């Protein structure tokens, strides 16, 4: 039985931190197992990333049907997505529906930020302190804190002097912001900046985009889902699930097995054109098998995309600023866009390349660069996230030796398969660092990660095991596997949130296993079949 009453001595089987996509499903699974579960959620509602990121233009870059939960066939079949790539408001509505349909809310405490967690070796429990003086204990602590949710706000001098409105995209006011007729500056041109810029350009009086690194963007090609398409999707649950489980990233897209240079140039270009014309990530994840590992193969795709970008921009000088140089195509996540490049053909839009014209400070009326002053009413920081580990290290989590997770990760994250961290018993980290449940279509990975955790807890209960923790040696060997995988790709050489390079002071280290979900599944299943090899039980 669960209780949500607030007393000092509250004890649960499991505490879950976060009520986003992961937290809701983890709650559902553990409750089914008969555990008492309490979920702490910082926000006043469910949704996680999809609650906070309500900025203009926020939407999926995965196909809606592939992003939905698959744990309930009935849920899958009864929900109708209105667009192939749904907008944030629709996704949040879906998540609220899931919370209500499965009666999950009564186990969730909203407006409750977890501040401190400490392992007690004596009674083998976690004590958890959350906002408002809440104190609880639990045998298992599960973080469902999101991969992209710890806001990265750059330290720009003078930021506090700005007299207008300033927002980070991931803390956008829930009621929206009226940008009509305003002078708006956007800092950041990753997926978020791109979505904002293309959405607000024709509404604002003047838009100034501050770009540090140009990014390869590719067309999303969104469209409404027709009644016939909905019919086809909702009756294809089994086939779709099988397809998603067979691709490296849990997306519907998978690469052509051939190597790029094996394919005659004409045929290769025709293939790139075909992918370009299709919706979604096929133009990134559906290229050749060596597109993200062989520089020559990659360059064929990069040149193709550079050409596509150039064709869409009227002013060649602006085009040159927007075209990435010395950067492999797809070594960081590709923003999918709708008329993004055409925005720069508008008279009210100005692009500032802050590598050649650096921001010197923010001042009362706007942003000052080395070359000019830009007067602004609103500044939007689309500057991304301290990804994967950010929200873990912002909570004071103390393991067996009293060492914090933040200190433990100082020289780079460590874990065994992203599932657990040595020194932190009975702590399960959903989408944890160095794991194989990160580089993917997020819900597909999360469901699989959560199924693993739930099965593990079930195993512990049926085998009278109280504590599970990976060995330091297992972590060391796993890290070698991760690093070996990364060496075979172009990912580590490109600055991005994949390797922590976007956060000043963060150890630059790849933060995830990149060998693909299919191979990762094989590895973790083998580990389980060998009696959870690499873990120690007490």
Q: Which residues bind ligand NA7 (CB under 6 A)?
A: 148, 154, 187-193, 212-213, 333, 354, 382-385, 497, 502
Query: Which CB sits closer to ligand NA7, 252 or 382?
Result: 382
Which tokens in the block code for residue 219? Answer: 């067309």
Query: Which CB sits closer to ligand NA7, 335 or 534?
Result: 335
Of 37, 74, 69, nearest to 50 by C-alpha is 69
CB 270: neighbour CB atoms within 10 A?
Answer: 12
| Separation of alpha carbons 101 and 299, rounded Å | 48
Query: Which CB sits closer to ligand NA7, 251 or 428?
Result: 251
Q: How far is the CB of 382 from ligand NA7 (least distance, A)?
A: 6
Query: Which CB sits closer to ligand NA7, 107 or 394?
Result: 394
| Separation of alpha carbons 110 and 98, rounded Å | 16
Q: How far is the CB of 232 from ligand NA7 (least distance, A)?
A: 27
Q: How far is the CB of 516 from ligand NA7 (least distance, A)?
A: 17
| Separation of alpha carbons 412 and 408, rounded Å | 8
Q: How far is the CB of 213 from ligand NA7 (least distance, A)?
A: 3
Residue with tokens 């912001």, as numbered in its chain: 177
Q: How far is the CB of 497 from ligand NA7 (least distance, A)?
A: 5
Q: How far is the CB of 16 from ligand NA7 (least distance, A)?
A: 23
Tell me which residue has its CB nearest to ligand NA7.
190
Query: Which CB sits closer to ligand NA7, 20 or 470?
Result: 20
Q: How far is the CB of 249 from ligand NA7 (least distance, A)?
A: 12
Query: Which CB sits closer to ligand NA7, 141 or 359?
Result: 359
| Separation of alpha carbons 441 and 449, rounded Å | 13
Q: How far is the CB of 134 from ligand NA7 (least distance, A)?
A: 30
Q: Are 494 and 331 in contact (CB under 8 A)?
A: yes
CA-angle at 84, arms to 440 and 57, nearest 5° = 85
| Separation of alpha carbons 420 and 62, rounded Å | 28
Which residues have a Cβ under 8 Å from the Cβ of 537 and sit 6 or more positions away? 460, 463, 465, 467, 468
Q: Are 106 and 41 in contact (CB under 8 A)?
A: no
Query: Which CB sits closer to ligand NA7, 24 or 336?
Result: 336
| Separation of alpha carbons 212 and 352, rounded Å | 9
Query: Which CB sits closer to ligand NA7, 140 or 497?
Result: 497
Query: Which CB sits closer to ligand NA7, 117 or 446?
Result: 446
Which residues have a Cβ under 8 Å from the Cβ of 231 and sit 6 or more positions away? none
| Separation of alpha carbons 458 and 460, rounded Å | 5
> H or E stretch including 351?
strand 349-353
Q: How far is the CB of 520 from ligand NA7 (least distance, A)?
A: 19
Distances (CA, A) of 240 to 204, 251, 410, 525: 41, 10, 41, 22
């Amino acid at each position: 039985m669960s209780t949500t009453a607030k007393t000092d001595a509250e004890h649960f089987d499991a505490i879950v931190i976060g009520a986003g996509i992961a937290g809701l499903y983890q709650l559902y699974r553990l409750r089914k197992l008969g555990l008492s579960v309490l979920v702490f959620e910082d926000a006043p509602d469910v949704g996680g990333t999809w609650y906070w990121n309500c900025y203009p233009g926020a939407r999926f870059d995965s196909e809606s049907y592939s992003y939905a939960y698959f744990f309930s066939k009935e849920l899958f079949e009864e929900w109708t997505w209105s667009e192939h790539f749904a907008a944030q408001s629709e996704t949040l509505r879906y998540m609220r529906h899931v919370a209500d349909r499965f009666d999950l809310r009564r186990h969730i405490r909203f407006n409750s930020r977890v501040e401190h967690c400490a392992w007690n070796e004596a009674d083998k429990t976690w004590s958890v302190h959350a906002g408002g003086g809440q104190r609880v204990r639990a045998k298992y602590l599960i973080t469902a804190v999101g991969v992209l949710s710890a806001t990265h706000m750059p330290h720009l001098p003078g930021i506090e002097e700005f007299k207008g409105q300033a927002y980070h995209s991931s803390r956008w006011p829930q009621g929206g912001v009226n940008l009509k007729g305003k002078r708006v500056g956007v800092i950041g041109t990753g997926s978020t900046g791109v979505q904002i810029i293309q959405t607000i350009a024709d509404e604002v009086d003047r838009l100034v985009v501050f770009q540090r690194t140009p990014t390869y963007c590719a067309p999303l090609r969104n469209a409404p889902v027709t009644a016939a398409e909905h019919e086809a999707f909702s009756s294809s649950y089994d086939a779709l699930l099988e397809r998603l489980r067979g691709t490296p990233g849990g997306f519907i897209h998978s690469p052509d097995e051939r190597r790029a240079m094996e394919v005659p140039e004409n045929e290769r270009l025709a293939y790139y054109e075909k992918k370009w014309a299709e919706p979604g990530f096929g133009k990134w994840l559906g290229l050749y098998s060596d597109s993200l590992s062989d520089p020559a193969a990659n360059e064929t795709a990069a040149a193709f995309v550079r050409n596509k970008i150039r064709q869409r921009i009227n002013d060649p000088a602006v085009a040159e600023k927007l075209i990435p140089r010395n950067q492999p195509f797809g070594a960081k996540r590709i923003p999918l866009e709708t008329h993004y490049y055409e925005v720069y053909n508008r008279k009210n839009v100005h692009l500032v390349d802050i590598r050649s014209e650096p921001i010197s400070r923010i001042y009362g009326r706007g942003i000052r660069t080395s070359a000019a002053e830009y007067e602004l009413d609103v500044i939007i920081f689309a500057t991304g996230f301290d990804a994967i580990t950010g929200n873990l290290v912002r909570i004071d989590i103390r393991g067996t030796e009293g060492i914090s997770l933040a200190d433990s990760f100082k020289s780079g994250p460590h874990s065994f398969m992203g599932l657990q961290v040595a020194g932190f018993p009975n702590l399960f980290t959903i989408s944890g660092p160095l794991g194989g449940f990160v580089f993917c279509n997020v819900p597909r990975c999360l469901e699989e990660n959560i199924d693993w955790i739930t099965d593990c807890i079930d195993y512990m209960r049926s085998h009278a095991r109280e504590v599970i923790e990976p060995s330091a040696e297992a972590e060391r060997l796993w890290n070698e596997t991760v690093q070996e995988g990364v060496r075979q790709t172009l990912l580590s050489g490109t600055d991005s949130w994949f390797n922590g390079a976007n956060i000043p002071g963060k150890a630059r280290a790849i933060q995830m296993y990149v060998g693909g979900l299919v191979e990762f599944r094989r590895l973790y299943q083998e580990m389980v079949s060998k009696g959870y090899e690499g873990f120690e039980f007490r």
